Amino acid sequence: MIRPPVIQIVGYKNSGKTTLIKQLLSVFNSLKLRVAVIKHDVHGFEIDHEGTDTYAYRQQGAAAIAITSPYRTALIEEQQTPLEELIERFGSYDLILVEGFKQEAFSKIVMLRNGEDQKLLQELDQVKACVMRDIEMVEHGSPRIERVGIAAPLALFVADEIEKIAVWILGEAELVPLAE
């Protein structure tokens, strides 16, 4: 099976990663693309809650639980799963958007809250684009980005340019939207 294209959306906390992904999903859904999202949470999370059968199974020591219906499937494992394994599981989708996993080696869009966040552009590999939230970073239509240490051309976007970002991702991923 051919692996679908993977695009990472990275940045510091509250940089707009989740908001951007939600907006991109709306655009890609309108193009009839099947998009999978993998989110990294360094703080841990709870997806199950007290009162459900799956919660009770976990409390009794189940190492993995799957629940499925005609409409969705959830898998809960009491272990970390490597990104590559998750990507393999999502092999039947058209595109995979990954939120986080800064040190992985996929094409990255870096979210910049302000000028201080620019250090990410030098610290990370495979940075292909950046999205700026702070309007002060954009003066007279020209983004102010320090290009020190960045060899490759960098696509620059303002956070509200969702359609332009989506088109860039489709080009980077070498995807052609399906005809309606």
Give residue 41's pLDDT: 82
- Looking at per-residue pLDDT, the higher value among 178 and 170 belongs to 170
CATH superfamily of 6-43+80-172: P-loop containing nucleotide triphosphate hydrolases (3.40.50.300)
The predicted model gives 34-62 an average pLDDT of 88
Give residue 19's pLDDT: 97
Q: Where are the domains of the chain?
A: 6-43+80-172
What residues contact 101, with CB distance under 8 A and at least 6 apart?
A: 8, 10, 38, 40, 83
CA separation (Å) from 93 to 3, 35, 47, 111, 147?
9, 6, 23, 24, 34
Burial class (CB in 10 A: 0-12, 13-18, 19+), 149: exposed
Per-residue pLDDT of 68-124, as tens digits, reads 999 999 898 989 999 999 999 999 999 999 999 999 999 999 999 988 888 898 899
What is the average pLDDT score of the chain?
Answer: 87
Say what the pTM is.
0.86
Phi first, then psi, for residue 155 (nearest 5°) are -75, 130
CB burial of 125-141 (b: ≥16 within 10 Å; e: otherwise) equals: eebbbbbbbeeebbeee
Q: What order of strands is seen across the sheet that includes strand 95-99?
A: 35-39, 95-99, 6-10, 107-112, 127-132, 155-158
Give residue 30's pLDDT: 96
CB-CB neighbours of 44 under 10 Å: 5
Min mean pLDDT across 5-19, 48-62, 103-117, 150-164 is at 150-164
